[in-house]
Amino acid sequence: MLTTTQKKTAEAIINLFETGRMLGDYGLVTLIAGDTGHLTFGRSQTTLGSGNLHKLLAMYCANSGARFGARIAPYLPRFETRDFSLDNDLKPHNVLRASADDPVMRDTQDTFFDQIYWQPAARAAEREGISSPLGVAVVYDSFLHGSWKAMRDRTRKQVGQVNGAGEQKWIAAYVVTRRAWLATHTRADLRPTVYRMDAFQRLIDQGFWGLELPLVVRGNEISHVTLAAAPFNSFSGPQPGTRPLALQYPLQRGLDVRLVQLGLSDRDVDIRADGFFGQMSVRRIKEYQSANGLPVTGVADIPLITELTG
């Protein structure tokens, strides 16, 4: 059994692989050319193509407290049928980004990734006789990234079972085997992901089988402090209407900005709901003001914010 801290550390390593963020990126929407998973979303990135993105969103919408449930629900049939036109449909992308500001969505994602990926990986590791935190992290990575069973079988052919070879030797062989498989893969988008195995190899070389903190993984400090930090790019405020929004330095950012951007998106304005009031937000506000007979200032005043977020 891993301790709570060891589990969080293992998850943080894979979050770094998936989103570049130790605690994950709950609102990250990604589309990688050639990725058979198509549209991917969330803390540890789950995909439209696998059907798991629909499962996550259905779980969220089933919660009566889901702030963005009513906005996501109309898209559920398309997610369920794996409608790949969602890959380039910016409106649902923006709703997904905004949902990261809802604690219900973040809790739902934590539960989902634990049930769908972590728990099956932990059971598989236990069946193989893998008990070290680093070893379990390697197995978890393959459950999330794919092809655990195929790589396990290849490793068995090379060094035998875990209980015969010894866990550390077996995991080291597995990492080498998986790296070679990724490096020569027919899919161009998978070949660059050898960095995952390189990171594990470095931890193996350093002897960090217990994932003792602090660690540095891909230039990021994993420590008790960083594991306790607030989630990246998830806003709890300011509330809409508590301030006007204008271009300034540093850029205004927050929940009110995101909801204004989402309101524009709902009105067919081409904008990314990233929560930062930058030059593109000013341009789109000006265009909206011009189209609706308002003074063209590029400033979202309180009445306009109320209109867009009400």
Q: Where are the domains of the chain?
A: 4-227, 255-309
Mean pLDDT of 70-95: 97
pLDDT in tens, 230-253: 998 999 999 999 999 999 999 999
Mean pLDDT of 69-84: 97
CA distance 179 to 162: 19
CA distance 215 to 55: 33
Identify whether the C-beta of residue 30 lies closer than 8 Å to the C-beta of residue 40. yes
48 Cβ contact partners less than 8 Å away, ≥ 6 residues apart: 37, 38, 39, 40, 54, 79, 82, 84, 86, 87
CA distance 107 to 105: 5
For the chain, state the CA radius of gyration.
22
The C-alpha torsion from 242 through 247 and 252 to 257, rounded to 10°, is 60
Residue environment code for 141-169, b if the CB has 16+ CB neighbours within 10 A, otherwise e: bbbbbeebeebbebbbeebeebeebebee
At residue 36, does pLDDT exceed 90?
Answer: no
At residue 107, does pLDDT exceed 80?
Answer: yes
DSSP classification of residue 74 = G
- The pTM assigned to this predicted structure is 0.90
At residue 104, does pLDDT exceed 80?
Answer: yes
pLDDT in tens, 189-198: 999 999 999 9
Q: What is the pLDDT of residue 130?
A: 98
Q: What is the pLDDT of residue 33?
A: 78
Average pLDDT, the chain: 96
C-alpha 66: how far from chain center = 19
Q: How many CB atoms lie within 10 A of CB 29?
A: 20
Q: What is the pLDDT of residue 242?
A: 96
Of the candidates 103, 109, 107, the residue with the CA atom closest to the CA atom of residue 40: 109
pLDDT in tens, 63-73: 999 999 999 99
CA distance 28 to 94: 10
Mean pLDDT of 69-78: 97
Mean pLDDT of 81-89: 96
Q: What is the pLDDT of residue 171?
A: 98
SS3 (DSSP) at 148? helix
DSSP classification of residue 276 = B
Right CATH for 4-227 from 2.60.420.10, 3.20.20.80, 1.20.141.10, 3.10.129.10? 1.20.141.10
Q: What is the pLDDT of residue 310?
A: 87
At residue 35, does pLDDT exceed 80?
Answer: no
pLDDT in tens, 159-217: 999 999 999 999 999 999 999 999 999 999 999 999 999 999 999 999 999 999 999 99
Q: What is the pLDDT of residue 32?
A: 81
Q: 133-145 and 148-159 helices cross at what angle (nearest 10)?
A: 130
Percentage of the chain surpassing pLDDT 90?
Answer: 95
pLDDT in tens, 138-162: 999 999 999 999 999 999 999 999 9
β 215-217/220-222 pair status: antiparallel
Percentage of the chain surpassing pLDDT 70?
Answer: 100
CA distance 54 to 237: 28
Q: 90-99 and 255-266 helices cross at what angle (nearest 10)?
A: 160
